[in-house]
A and B are shown apart, each in its own frame.
Chain A
Amino acid sequence: MGHAASDEHGLHVSSVEFNLRILASLIFLTFLTYATASMDLGYFDTPVALLIAFGKTTLVILYFMHVRWGSDYVKILSVTGFVFLIFLFAFTLVDVGSRAPEQPWGKYTWPGAAHRTTMIPSVPVVTGHGEHDAHGDEHHAPSSTHSPGHHEDKEAPGSHAQGH
């Protein structure tokens, strides 16, 4: 009676093999995202990682959470949270992105801040533990500044992202 009742009421039962295939795909994508993160993709490092994460999420939602075979109500609800998150991210980031340099912490932001090639050299290399002794003479960094607050003196001439 069990199986008959299930079919009769439109219940979808995934086979063991199907579930295993989804698991294998998810593990494969985990290794893929590890591999792509280790490669130098420049600006695309994070977008690619997020794309793979959304791919994994889609697999979980459609097949493990059975939304693929769910009612229309469930299908709509399963994307509702994400839709509202798009609003949250879009409006907040537009706001923050257009005003950030005026913020007191804006001095730690510079053009191309999201891209590593412009940001890594701008950080003093701290090699020891004593940060207050020997200000300026035993650092291996090309810049002699130690306090990040001094960055604006040295960094990115012609930059417009400094707070002043």
Chain B
Amino acid sequence: MVSSSAAVAGHDDHHHNPHLAHHFEDLQQQRESHALGMWLFLAQEFMFFGGMFGAYTIYRYFYPVGWMAGSQQLNVTIGAANTVVLLCSSFTMAMAVRAAQLGSKKGVIQQILLTMFFGSVFLVVKYFEYYEKFEHGLMPFSTLGLEFTNVVKEVPGAQLFFSFYFGMTGMHALHMVIGFGLFVWVIIHTLQGKVTPEKHSVVENMGLYWHFVDIVWIFLFPLLYLLGLNGEPVIGVHH
């Protein structure tokens, strides 16, 4: 449909494809530019979380036992279950992109709602996990009026492990909450009929963001939860 003559004719051509912004040659260039911009943002996001993983690595090197003792306070089964839930949400997100590519408005909205459902399950579980840590005196932020009273604090570095645990999973959860806001915006966008097979970068970029959040968790799960399985209990686990 978009012939090269249309591109040459430019602005005044009334047969100009309504889905194509004026400054792009064709739909493919337009779509690739949208993806490129999103990937630039994600490269920055990889480095943002990478900084935290770097700090985690250094302090784990300083306090290997504290890290082990801290990790053993986490519930691996819940962490693994939440990993699967988040992977399912990535799958439904991929299905939402597919629906957008095929022009199914209903499919996009259904799949995004499913993604939000899985995301909510993840966050609710996370809430109960945080609450349990609070109950067990594992909150390290004394400046916030909280206190680390658990016996694990005897092990040097264990309290620091929990600072990393809450910092990293908290930043991850914050990204999910922001994602929820973006989901609502994408649904409105779709309802307005702005998502078409020709132009659906909004859904595709939403997918890229959500998959990125999934990738962060793929690394958080082994580094925070599975670590504790690698050794015998440092300290009695108080569940």
Contact = CB atoms under 8 A, between A and B. Distances in A.
A142 interface: no
For chain A, the bracket of interface size reads: 35 or more
A60 B68 contact: no
B155 interface: yes
Given A60-B218, A64-B207, A71-B35, A33 B226 contact: yes
Contact of B101 (A1, A6, A100, A123): A6
Contacts of A49: 222-223, 226
Nearest to A148: B156
Contact of A120 (B50, B65, B219): B65
Interface residues of B, number: 74
Contacts, number: 211
Contacts of B27: 5, 9
A41 B231 CA distance: 10
Main secondary structure of the interface of A (DSSP, over half): helix
B61 interface: yes
Nearest to A20: B91
A30 B102 contact: no
Contacts of A129: 151
A66 B63 CA distance: 39
B39 interface: yes
Contacts of A8: 1
A156 interface: no
Interface string A7-32: 01111011010011011001100110
B69 interface: yes
10 contacts: A5-B1, A23-B88, A49-B223, A71-B36, A100-B62, A103-B62, A108-B63, A129-B151, A131-B154, A148-B154
Interface of B: 1, 26-28, 31-32, 35-36, 39-40, 42-47, 50-51, 53-54, 57-58, 61-66, 68-69, 76, 80, 83-84, 87-88, 90-91, 93-95, 97-98, 101-103, 151, 154-157, 197-198, 204, 207-208, 211-212, 214-215, 218-219, 221-223, 226-227, 229-232, 234-236
